[in-house]
A and B are shown apart, each in its own frame.
Chain A
Amino acid sequence: MTTLLKRSILSRSYGDRFVAALFQGFAIASGAIVLLIILFLLRESYPILHRVGVLRFFRDPSWHPTSGEFGAMPMLWGSLLVTLGSVLIATPLGILSAIFCQYYAPPRLAPLYRRLIELLAGIPSVVYGLWGLVVLVPLVRRIQPPGTSLLTGIWVLALMILPTIMLVADASLANVPAAYLRGAAALGLSRWAIVRGVAIPTAQAGLMTGILLAIGRAIGETMAVLMVCGNVVQVPDSLFDPVRTLTANIALEMAYAMNEHRSALFVSGLILTGLIAILVTIGEWVNRGQMYD
């Protein structure tokens, strides 16, 4: 409506048409980037997909791309296990933190605590990785060598994604209409009953979005995981076994990969992008459900 107004009322001089065309050009260039990324991922992975097919990546017993073995399953498991573990730890802590900030914290403490979480969100992943490597790995090594393990990865990653969950949950809890809470309080419900029965169900979609964002961040995270997980290609038997994730695999091998090996790394990039696309679709679906509520 407003754009319609702008279009029909404002004048269109010669210069205006030039500016409009220029900005349209910028916009097309921005849109083309996504197409370019997909195009180049496909183009670089085409040789291997054409020759051995995508199924080999899930069926081959091991990852030796230089001698024709392309089993990416251990890495996929690595990515999924690290993600699952960190999300399982960070979700309750993040949501509890948000509930604390919104409903339980003394009024002076809430903004301070929120500020602290924002700071935590601003620390770059390579710094988390450094800290994990220098501080956490020796700690875990004392329990069971080698120290660089699934457990350390989960630990560091949980710290990294916690702010995402907490900040999104905090924002969506803040959007719960005050009338709902007042109504519940007027009915004599205890504070926890209000939180559990009114606030959480109302903010459900927001909480889910936060968790999905955190999962996306965990799957896509490279540096921290690369530095603390040990990077051994295997399906781990215990929390203390080293693992290698899909992202770490790309970062490690890209430097020297040639031909088919390089191509295979681009396929793992495609698999990663596919996982993210699934998450984005779920996110859309969650938010659509919200609209019909």
Chain B
Amino acid sequence: MARINDVGGTVGFGAVDTADDPAPFHADWEARVVGLFNALRAEGLFNTNEFRDAIESMPPAEYLTTSYYERWFEAIRALLERKGVIEPGELDD
């Protein structure tokens, strides 16, 4: 079964916003998330395929309402919980 990330050819996402980004990241936390991904992968906590799977198995409603790097963050959180590095809920306020 196709997962929500498999959007190729689907209809209804509207026009492409072709505007260029002034900088690679819109906020500092986005750069930190990419750094966390690279660092934790380098430390062997997960590999790229596990990471992609974690993003692509997000519930559709969550996938479609989160930004690109929020999905990265949620995937890292899910993997760290699955591997017992952090406890579920440990990141909550």
Is chain B found bound to chain A in the same assembly? no
On B, residues with C-beta under 8 Å from A are: none
